[in-house]
């Protein structure tokens, strides 16, 4: 989750048995990424020593779009950290597959169509993350019911559902559909450990599904954004410009983030369809415990 998931959120999730992920671009420099990875590894080792239980692995997300100049350096940092699992997003995983697989790392690729899924499989990924129409940020267009079944017709590897995961009932439904794992993003933005601004978290609590707008105006890709944040920035959600070429570098460049007019992500916020399930701002541990209770109830038909 761009500019939202940091070490506190990631390690809190891992300590509670849930894979914690973050885009490597959340770090302004590769040196900062090295520090994050080292500090999180140390934190999780301490947690394992204290509890006697191995935490879930942390999972860097490499934005592999061709316009991202940091891919080689971020990849090198991930390899130095010897992580177990990596997500690739916004592009083909093929350019980073060999070094990751040579290092024994599992690779999950974000895909938004059957064609993308086929290409990722051909590249040798271990898992597919199906971006459905309900995903926050850069999203997919497909209905999750149709997408999962279409992919399961030719892929028996790991499938992850991304989009609309508001609670444990949704996770149980994804498992019944044929998924092995589920992404939850929006719900974790509204946690105490999240890097999101207080106003962002409160807007998630106050918003509902109809407040999510699908637009290309801010990234050049189909993206789910919060209408109230667009309006608060002085823009008309129903009369937005169409952005041109995709340039990931503009989003991750440190100097660009500090410009007064750099509103994308900092002042105009993203959310998925699961915003309808956000009603408070708990700790990560509290949210995971609640989600597990909901999941067990769903599986038992309660």
Burial of 282 (0-12, 13-18, 19+ CB in 10 A): middle
Query: What's the confidence (pLDDT) of residue 267?
Result: 83
Say how many residues make up the chain: 302
Compute the distance between CA of residue 55 and CA of residue 45 in angstroms, rounded to an integer. 8
Query: What's the confidence (pLDDT) of residue 258?
Result: 53
pLDDT in tens, 213-256: 999 888 778 889 999 999 998 889 999 877 665 555 555 565 55
Average pLDDT over residues 81-86: 96
pLDDT in tens, 186-223: 999 999 999 999 999 999 999 999 999 999 888 778 88
Beta bridge partners of 214: 224
Query: What's the confidence (pLDDT) of residue 253?
Result: 61
Between residues 214 and 2, which one has the greater pLDDT? 214
pLDDT in tens, 15-45: 999 999 999 999 999 999 999 999 999 999 9
Band the pLDDT of 136: cuts 50, 70, 90.
confident
Q: How far out from the chain centre does Cα 50 lie?
A: 29
Q: Map out the domains of the chain as residue ranges.
A: 7-194+281-299, 198-273
Cβ atoms of 268 and 2 closer than 8 Å? no
DSSP H/E element including 108: strand 106-111
Query: What's the confidence (pLDDT) of residue 261?
Result: 46
Cβ atoms of 185 and 136 closer than 8 Å? yes
pLDDT in tens, 257-285: 555 444 555 788 999 999 999 999 999 99
Compute the distance between CA of residue 6 and CA of residue 4 in angstroms, rounded to an integer. 6
Q: What is the mean pLDDT of the chain?
A: 91
Compute the distance between CA of residue 19 and CA of residue 301 in angstroms, rounded to an integer. 26
Q: How far out from the chain centre does Cα 44 lie?
A: 20
Average pLDDT over residues 59-87: 94
Query: Percent of the chain, pLDDT > 70?
Result: 92
Query: Percent of the chain, pLDDT > 90?
Result: 80
Residue reference for tokens 């597959």: 97
Compute the distance between CA of residue 291 and CA of residue 182 in angstroms, rounded to an integer. 12
CATH number for 7-194+281-299: choose from 3.40.50.720, 3.20.20.70, 3.30.2010.10, 3.40.50.150: 3.20.20.70
């Amino acid at each position: 989750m761009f500019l939202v998931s940091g070490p506190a959120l990631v390690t809190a999730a891992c300590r509670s048995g849930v894979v914690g992920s973050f885009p490597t671009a959340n770090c302004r420099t590769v040196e900062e990424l090295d520090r994050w990875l080292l500090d999180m590894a140390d934190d999780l080792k301490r947690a394992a020593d204290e509890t006697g239980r191995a935490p879930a692995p942390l999972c860097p997300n490499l934005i592999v779009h061709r316009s991202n100049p940091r891919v080689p350096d971020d990849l090198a940092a991930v390899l130095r950290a010897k992580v177990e699992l990596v997500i690739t997003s916004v592009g083909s995983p093929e350019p980073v597959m060999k070094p990751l697989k040579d290092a024994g790392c599992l690779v999950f690729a974000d895909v938004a169509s059957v064609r993308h899924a086929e290409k990722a499989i051909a590249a040798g990924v271990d898992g597919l993350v199906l971006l459905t129409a309900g995903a926050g940020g850069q999203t997919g267009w497909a209905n999750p019911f149709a997408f999962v079944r279409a992919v399961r017709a030719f892929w028996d590897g790991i499938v992850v559902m991304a989009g609309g995961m508001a609670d444990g009932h949704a996770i149980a439904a994804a498992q019944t559909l044929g998924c092995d794992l589920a992404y939850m993003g929006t719900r974790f933005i509204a946690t105490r450990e999240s890097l999101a601004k207080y106003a962002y978290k409160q807007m998630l609590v106050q918003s509902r599904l109809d407040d999510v707008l699908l637009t290309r105006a801010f990234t050049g890709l189909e993206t789910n954004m919060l209408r109230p944040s667009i309006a608060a920035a002085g823009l008309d959600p129903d009369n937005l410009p169409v952005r041109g070429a995709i340039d990931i570098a503009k989003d991750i460049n440190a100097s660009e983030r500090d410009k007064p007019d750099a509103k994308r992500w900092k002042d105009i916020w993203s959310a998925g369809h699961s915003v309808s399930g956000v009603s408070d701002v708990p700790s990560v541990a509290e949210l995971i415990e609640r989600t597990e209770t909901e999941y067990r109830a769903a599986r038992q038909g309660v």
